[in-house]
Chains A and B, each alone.
Chain A
Amino acid sequence: MRLPDKKGHFGVFGGKYIPETLMVALDELEREYKAAKKDRKFKTQLDYYLSDFAGRPSILYYAERLTKRLKGPKIYLKREDLLHTGSHKINNTLGQGLLTVRMGKKRIIAETGAGQHGVATATVAALFGLECEIFMGEEDIERQALNVFRMRLLGSKVTPVTSGSKTLKDAMNEAMRDWVTNVRTTHYCIGSVAGPHPFPMMVRDFQTVIGKEAKRQILKSEGRLPDYLLACVGGGSNSMGLFYPFFNDKKVKFIGVEAAGRGLSTGLHAATLEKGEIGVLHGSKSYLLQDKSGQVKIAHSISAGLDYPGVGPEHAYFKSIGRAKYVSVTDDEALDAFQLLSEVEGIIPALESAHAIAYLAKNARKHKKADIVIVCLSGRGDKDVDMVSKILDSRLRGNDNKRTQ
């Protein structure tokens, strides 16, 4: 059976756990999305913007030096970092932007963590002439100052969120509150495969362009399907976009990498699928980091884009049926991978994507050399350079000393 079902459920997960005021907006969105999917003009438009504006198809790059260095499987990188705005988020915002125009709504809002989705939404708002407001946790505004400026430059209003943990979760709360208030004129462009139905389905569909292309590309270069697909999981949109088109290719294994923050045992992490329990947050039932009383815990990750205590419901479903395996790597391991990919391949990855590389660096030797792995390089690291430089600077200076000796 194709999932989600009519009510938006993936097994026991998903659904619409949302204030009554939004129910009609969600129904409208679902109707409009279904109509758009059948509309050849919509598809032509979306394809046009994906190629001529965003720069698709993205390259599937054979990372030869990384492969040699890690002495493990043959590594391909799906270069979503090369897209316009610097991450896979544009795939989704172009789709939802066109839908917003189609619904006749003049205003678009979004939450953002790392700022990648915020920038992608602000960009599309500029492109389609929509009024745009981005909600962003105060802590993330500090961590991602460059992206905040980009959004403002693109003509969007960036509203700091000061409640709760002041990160992505709270930005999403605030965006929901705005949407409840302005639902008649505003579209809420959720940036991940999370939120109430139809968002997990719709965002997944918009992101499957990643996996569809990767499949075509790997068949062309290798003449066969890969053995593993590897991607980081925060809310889970880049990973779902890569995984989903391979769902029926049972021999292709999926590995989702979550943020272990300072270590799973410290409690300071964002490993929702590994350490969370079933719960309801932001409109859907999924795994959730929560305490014994059902209060949502604050997630921790060096990467603002993974710093979220929930996860998309379809990932919860994949976990429950064993279709995907979910693992995690720590902040330090991600930082090492950030450096590794920069040095070895000349590619500076986003800290989010560095988590996927880190898992591979740790486990490469467990794989056969004949294995083929596709890693989704979901975003580029420019936005993180400022913050990472503060941490890595001392390490790099140490290297200089070693080299001169």
Chain B
Amino acid sequence: MNRIDKKFRELKRQKKKAFIAFLTAGDFGLKTTKRLVLEFDKRGVDIIELGVPFSDPIADGPTIQASSERALRRGTRLQDIIKMVGELRKLTDIPIVLMGYYNPVLKYGIKKFVSDCVRHGVDGVIVPDLPPDEADELTAAAKKTGFATIFLLSPTSTAGRIRLVSKKSKGFIYYVSLTGITGARAMLPKELISRVRLIKRYSDKPVCVGFGVSRPEQVREIARAADGIIVGSAIVKEMEKGAKRKDFIKRVGDYVQKLTSALTADREASHQ
């Protein structure tokens, strides 16, 4: 069983929800990425999502665009990121998925991508510009390897698409909370909870919600219905703010813990 499935099974047993933290790999250097992954592991993060930088990130807002540009300026390549995960595997067993646009994966070679990921301990991939309709090559390569192909659903997805994405997704389903690009929002759509519940009627796979989430109260709210919460831009923003400080890793860790403890607090509250 792969690390993601194992993690969700364990969380379910503990009646917990998954906290998934995103950061762009190579932002402020791959060494920083490594240190942050280990820090996040200690701070209660359940799954790590590593962004693979791309020149044309059409689904991303200004914050992740900027982090992607910073990582590219440092020459961060997909192969370096996969290798880095291999090094991390000596230190942690936290599930790690890559999130990256299709072209770098296509250029890398899809079969080689999957086999290198599996070999170095990458547990899955999210490709925002690759709907299951075009993903036959990727899902075929991943089949029987345990490598999770995670597809996305959105507020505009019809019942037919919910069925298709549920069928093709492995690991979990990524529900995009809003129609739009990544980036923190003060308000999330009202129908978010009911949409998540609708998807869960079609699928027994874990549903995790991302895009726009930045505050502990949002995390708590989403946890009512979803199996996991993904925070990206808000963490990247925190990295930007503290980049030059000595206690950088600790500060970002403190921020992340504020979010992860929102889940713990919620659980404790519900037990009372």
On A, residues with C-beta under 8 Å from B are: 7, 15-25, 163-164, 169-170, 173, 176-177, 180-184, 277-283, 288, 290, 292-296
B156 touches A290 (CB 8 A): no
Tell me the residues in window 145-162 of chain B with beta carbons closer than 8 Å to chain A beta carbons.
151-158, 161
List of B residues within 8 angstroms of A290 by Cβ: 103, 107
B104 touches A294 (CB 8 A): yes
CA distance A173 to B134 in the complex (A): 20
Tell me the residues in window 164-194 of chain B with beta carbons closer than 8 Å to chain A beta carbons.
165, 176, 179-181
List of A residues within 8 angstroms of B79 by Cβ: 293
* A210 shortest CB reach to chain B, Å: 30
Q: List 12 A-B contacts (CB under 8 A).
A: A19-B176, A20-B156, A21-B179, A21-B180, A24-B158, A177-B58, A181-B181, A182-B179, A183-B156, A280-B106, A290-B103, A293-B107
Complex interface bits, B75-111 against A, C-beta within 8 A gives 1, otherwise 0: 0011100000000000000000000001111111000
Assess whether B29 is interfacial by the CB under 8 Å rule: no
CA distance A183 to B129 in the complex (A): 16
Assess whether B264 is interfacial by the CB under 8 Å rule: no
A19 touches B154 (CB 8 A): yes
List of B residues within 8 angstroms of A181 by Cβ: 179-181
Chain B interface residue count, CB cutoff 8 Å, equals 39
Assess whether B72 is interfacial by the CB under 8 Å rule: yes
Instruction: Using A163-B65, A294-B104 as known contacts, say yes or no to A23 and B59 having CB atoms under 8 A apart.
Output: no
List of B residues within 8 angstroms of A16 by Cβ: 131, 133-134
Give the residue of A7, A21, A288 whose beta carbon is less than 8 angstroms from that of B156. A21
Further contacts, 10 of them, CB under 8 A, given A17-B130, A180-B58, A295-B104: A16-B131, A20-B161, A163-B65, A173-B58, A180-B59, A180-B179, A183-B156, A290-B103, A293-B77, A294-B104
* B59 shortest CB reach to chain A, Å: 5
List of A residues within 8 angstroms of B103 by Cβ: 279-281, 288, 290, 294-296
List of B residues within 8 angstroms of A170 by Cβ: 56
Assess whether B54 is interfacial by the CB under 8 Å rule: yes
Closest to B174 in A: A20
A19 touches B152 (CB 8 A): yes
* A83 shortest CB reach to chain B, Å: 31
List of B residues within 8 angstroms of A278 by Cβ: 106
* A142 shortest CB reach to chain B, Å: 22
* A181 shortest CB reach to chain B, Å: 4
List of A residues within 8 angstroms of B108 by Cβ: 294
CA distance A281 to B131 in the complex (A): 14
CA distance A216 to B133 in the complex (A): 40
* A82 shortest CB reach to chain B, Å: 36
